[in-house]
């Protein structure tokens, strides 16, 4: 023990002595020399990029299996396109799990019967205003804006159920109850949308610009309203339903009780996307009660709100983000109570594939369930309505695309990663057992040509906790001892996530730009979809944020791992919302981004379409719309900018870009401007893409691109 204590004391004093000594100077890594090509090298890069573009689409084979199923679902055949346009035909025996080559293309005997109810998302009903009742006794119609019914027998006399309608404010959107005792309709106040205009400057055969107009609803514009009424056929009474005007979207779809047609429910989404209700109507009295009422302080993403009605059991299968993640719930429509949270956990349901009402199962896709992989990877599952017996049909760590046989006894699982070629497997649906590896994509020619696959990369976001995912694309012949400018392909639209996850030979513009001597990246920052509710909520009334704090940290983390990533020379480009984002990078983060190409941007959320902008920026229109506008902030421009716009843009009105140009001119800013005659909503098309590449070569590499008016290219 004494020796042990002496040893401890000796170690303590030695450590104390060491701590008292001056530290050696920290080793400072010399910055890598910037990649600075000569003009001759750039010319060679353009030629090489053009060559690789030309072969990329015909250098990967067997990447897609499109099955043609036999009538008995026991086999299918498909076609492969091989090198030099050679075709081969393969037959697969799914019962025995075998495949064989065929000499010729067989007949297509595909059958469409499934026995399942496939779900395609929430929808609004399409009603007829001249329809026969289910019992075939009455015909409902609109005459001079009023509701009339007449006996279905020949020469039946029409009976007017309303008299206060006219052609300017008619009744319409009629729908019968299944038992024909009630007719539901609406007194409609139509709103004619204001127009947007553009001029086609170069129409062949004309000597004048051609003015075009079309109706276009912008944020804050009014909607047509629908006042709901019930018409009782036993006494021909008109009853106003005790519910406010429907002043957002159109007339709702009605869901009648299966065993008691006295009651029906409908869905109501409040304008501003912060409240969703399921309301029940007593058709006998026109009184209502709220069955389900979901509210949020930010937004309900209405397009991702799935509802599926089970009339025989008076149940509703729906999704909600009320626990912070998109999950499936089972609701009792009679009481409005939640019967079951079918799925739960820090992951999201992406889509409902189908519903098996007899087995009480949901077939769905989801992402984020597996903690050791990219949280955006899609997997396919089935689960009972009771939340039990979850089956993962696609366990391989990858992004999956599943297609079922028409009878759903088998499925093809095509899985891949951005840098892992596609593998297509045949599985049995009952237990998910793999029966056969049908194909494995052949990318050997692509690799032999010098292609580098993109690399997935993730780094912590602004909160220091959440992983931000993206991809990096390098030049095929890059020199890791030099540092290359970074160009971000940006699209921060909150409606989805955009970084590619599947393997493809068509890396397109990112690969083509990289070949010129750049590191090209794409990132999904906070504010985009397919993660948690909190991740998505960053965009709420905050479109200008565009995930930039996460994107900048991601690029800096990439440079920390790979010293050949130059964070001094950083550019970005994008189209539509990406056009808004790319200019926003120079306006709000000009200390980091140095050059941007912005195509057809929705630069002011008040000018763009109502449905997209109110979903994220909210309603009513507040000061934040103005404060985040690229037009309002144009005077903050730093760096080099190229604006592009299609003069016939049918998505974002062209004046969105022209108003930015006007504001930049008034602020005395320098920029380049490329209007594209006759073009619609576009990234620039072939000509614009050439100009984009030349712009970055000139401003980030400091080299003059090819002179295209001569013979250099």
Q: Do 448 and 61 contact (CB within 8 A), yes or no?
A: no
265 pLDDT exceeds 80? yes
The Cβ of residue 232 has, within 10 Å, a number of other Cβ atoms equal to 17
Q: Cα-flanking dihedrals φ and ψ of residue 508, to 5°?
A: 60, -135
The more confidently predicted of residues 117 and 705 is 705
* Mean pLDDT of the 369-391 span: 97
| Element (DSSP H or E) covering residue 469 | strand 467-473
- Token look-up 């409908």 returns 266
Spacing of C-alpha 63 from chain mean position: 23
Instruction: Assess contact for 456 and 471: CB atoms under 8 A.
Output: yes
Q: Is 678 left (phi over 0), alpha (psi -120 to 50) or beta?
A: left
Q: Can you tell me whether residue 86 is helix, strand or coil?
A: coil
Phi then psi dihedrals of residue 20, to 5 deg:
-80, -15
pLDDT for 450 equals 85
Integer Rg of the chain from CA = 31
Res. 146: pLDDT tops 70: yes
**366 within 8 A of 350, measured Cβ to Cβ:** yes
For residue 348, which of 387, 388, 372, 376 has the smallest C-alpha distance?
A: 376
Q: How confident is the model at residue 121 (pLDDT cuts 50, 70, 90)?
A: very low
Confidence of residue 454 (pLDDT cuts 50, 70, 90): very high
Q: What is the rounded CA–CA span in Å between residue 73 and residue 469? A: 40
- Residue 577 backbone phi and psi in degrees, to 5: -60, -35
Residue 242 has a pLDDT of 98
pLDDT at residue 34 above 70?
Answer: yes
Burial class (CB in 10 A: 0-12, 13-18, 19+), 413: buried
pLDDT, residue 233, reads: 95
Mean pLDDT computed over 557-562: 98
CA distances from 104 to 88, 89, 438 (A): 8, 7, 19
Beta strands 565-575 and 519-524 are: unpaired
Task: Indicate if the pLDDT at residue 434 is higher than 60.
Answer: yes
A 10 A CB-CB count for 498 gives 21
169-195 b/e (C-beta count within 10 Å ≥ 16 → b): ebbbbbbbbeebbbbbbbbbbeeeeee
CA distance linking residue 713 with residue 691, whole number of Å: 14
H helices of 21-116, in order, are 39-56
Query: At a CB cut-off of 8 Å and minimum separation 6, what does 465 contact?
Result: none
Listed by start position, the domains of the chain span 39-58+445-700, 68-114, 122-305
Segment 500-514 shows an average pLDDT of 86
pLDDT of 12 reads 37
pTM: predicted TM-score of the whole model, two decimal places: 0.92
**pLDDT (0 to 100) of residue 279:** 98
Write the pLDDT tens digit of every residue in 435-447: 999 999 999 998 9
Section 189-210 average pLDDT: 96
pLDDT single digits (tens) 627-668: 999 999 999 999 999 999 999 999 999 999 999 999 999 999
Taking the C-alpha atoms of residue 261 and residue 291, their distance in angstroms, rounded to an integer, is 17
Which architecture characterizes domain 39-58+445-700 according to CATH? 3-Layer(aba) Sandwich (3.40)
pLDDT greater than 60 at residue 72: yes
Q: What local confidence, expressed as pLDDT, does residue 119 receive?
A: 47
Question: Alpha helices, DSSP H only, in 252-329?
Answer: none
CA–CA distance, 541 with 623 (Å, rounded to integer):
10
As to burial, measured by CB atoms within 10 angstroms (0-12 exposed, 13-18 middle, 19+ buried), residue 408 is middle
Question: pLDDT of 73-120, one tens digit each?
Answer: 999 999 999 998 899 999 999 999 999 999 887 865 544 444 344 444
Residue 101 CA to residue 78 CA, distance in Å, equals 10
Which helix (H) or strand (E) is 229 found in, with range?
strand 225-232
List, as one string, the DSSP characters of 602-668.
--STTTS-HHHHHHHH-SS--HHHHHT-TTTTGGG--SEEEEEEETT-SSS-THHHHHHHHHHHHTT
Q: Topology of domain 122-305, per CATH?
A: Methanol Dehydrogenase; Chain A (2.140.10)
Q: pLDDT tens across 55-65, in order?
A: 877 889 999 99
pLDDT cut 70: percent of the chain above it: 92
659 three-state secondary structure: helix
| Average confidence score pLDDT of the chain | 92
Contact between residue 603 and residue 630 where contact means Cβ atoms under 8 Å apart = yes
The pLDDT score that the predictor gives to residue 506 is: 63
């Amino acid at each position: 023990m004494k020796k042990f204590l002496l040893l401890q004391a000796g170690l303590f004093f030695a450590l104390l002595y060491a701590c008292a000594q001056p530290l050696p100077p920290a080793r400072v890594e010399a910055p890598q020399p910037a990649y600075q090509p000569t003009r001759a090298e750039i010319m060679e890069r353009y030629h090489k990029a053009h060559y690789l573009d030309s072969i990329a689409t015909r250098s990967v084979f067997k990447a897609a299996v499109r099955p043609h199923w036999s009538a008995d679902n026991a086999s299918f055949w498909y076609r492969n396109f091989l090198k030099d346009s050679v075709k081969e035909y393969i037959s697969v025996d799914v019962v025995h799990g075998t495949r064989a080559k065929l000499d010729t293309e067989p007949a297509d005997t595909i059958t469409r019967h499934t026995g399942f109810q496939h779900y395609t998302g929430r929808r609004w009903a399409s009603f007829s205003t001249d329809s026969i009742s289910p019992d075939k006794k009455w015909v409902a119609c609109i005459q001079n804006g009023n509701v009339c019914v007449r006996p279905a027998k020949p020469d039946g006399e029409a009976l007017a159920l309303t008299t206060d309608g006219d052609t300017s404010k008619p009744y319409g959107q009629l729908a019968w109850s299944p038992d024909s005792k009630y007719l539901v309709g609406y007194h409609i106040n139509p709103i004619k949308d204001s127009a947007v205009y553009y001029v086609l400057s170069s129409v062949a055969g004309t000597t004048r610009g051609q003015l075009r107009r079309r109706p276009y609803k912008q944020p804050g514009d009014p909607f047509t309203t629908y006042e709901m009424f019930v018409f009782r056929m036993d006494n021909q009474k008109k009853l106003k339903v005790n519910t406010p005007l429907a002043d957002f979207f159109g007339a709702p779809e009605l869901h009648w009780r299966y065993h008691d047609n006295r009651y029906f429910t409908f869905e109501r989404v409040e304008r501003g996307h912060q409240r969703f209700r399921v309301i029940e109507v007593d058709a006998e009295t026109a009184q209502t009660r709220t069955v389900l009422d979901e509210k949020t302080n930010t937004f309900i993403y209405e397009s991702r709100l799935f509802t599926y009605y089970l009339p025989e059991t008076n149940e509703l299968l729906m999704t909600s983000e009320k626990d912070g993640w998109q999950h499936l719930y089972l609701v009792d429509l009679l009481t409005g109570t939640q019967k079951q949270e079918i799925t739960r956990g820090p992951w999201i349901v992406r889509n409902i594939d189908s519903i098996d009402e007899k087995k009480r199962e949901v077939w769905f896709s989801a992402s984020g369930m597996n903690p050791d992989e990219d949280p955006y990877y899609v997997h396919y599952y089935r689960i009972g309505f009771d939340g039990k017996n979850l089956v993962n049909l696609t366990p391989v760590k990858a992004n999956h695309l599943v297609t079922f046989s028409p009878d759903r006894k088998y499925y093809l699982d095509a899985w891949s990663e951005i840098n892992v070629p596609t593998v297509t497997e045949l599985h049995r649906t009952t237990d998910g057992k793999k029966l056969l590896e049908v194909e494995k994509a052949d990318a050997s020619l692509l690799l032999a040509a010098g292609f580098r696959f993109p690399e997935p990369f993730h780094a912590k976001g602004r909160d220091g906790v959440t992983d931000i995912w993206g991809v990096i694309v390098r030049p095929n012949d890059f020199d890791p001892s030099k540092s290359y400018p970074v160009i971000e392909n940006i699209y921060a639209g909150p409606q989805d996530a955009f970084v590619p996850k599947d393997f493809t030979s068509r890396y397109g513009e990112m690969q083509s730009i990289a070949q010129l001597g750049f590191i090209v990246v794409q990132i999904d920052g906070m504010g985009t979809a397919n993660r948690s509710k909190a991740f998505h909520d960053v965009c709420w009334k905050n479109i200008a944020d565009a995930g930039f704090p996460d994107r900048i940290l991601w690029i800096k983390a990439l440079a920390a791992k790979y010293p050949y990533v130059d964070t001094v020379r950083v550019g970005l480009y994008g189209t539509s919302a990406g056009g808004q984002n790319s200019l926003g990078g120079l306006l709000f983060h000009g200390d980091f981004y140095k050059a941007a190409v912005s195509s057809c941007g929705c630069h002011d959320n008040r000018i763009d379409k109502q449905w997209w902008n109110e979903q994220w920026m909210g309603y009513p229109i507040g000061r934040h719309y103005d404060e985040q506008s690229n037009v309002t902030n144009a005077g903050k421009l730093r760096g080099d900018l190229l604006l592009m716009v299609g003069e016939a843009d049918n998505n974002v009105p062209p004046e969105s870009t022209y108003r930015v140009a006007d504001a930049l001119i008034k602020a005395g800013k320098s920029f380049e401007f490329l209007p594209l005659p006759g073009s619609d909503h576009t990234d620039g098309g072939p000509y614009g893409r050439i100009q984009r590449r030349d712009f970055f070569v000139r401003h980030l590499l400091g080299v003059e691109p090819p002179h295209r008016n001569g013979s250099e290219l």
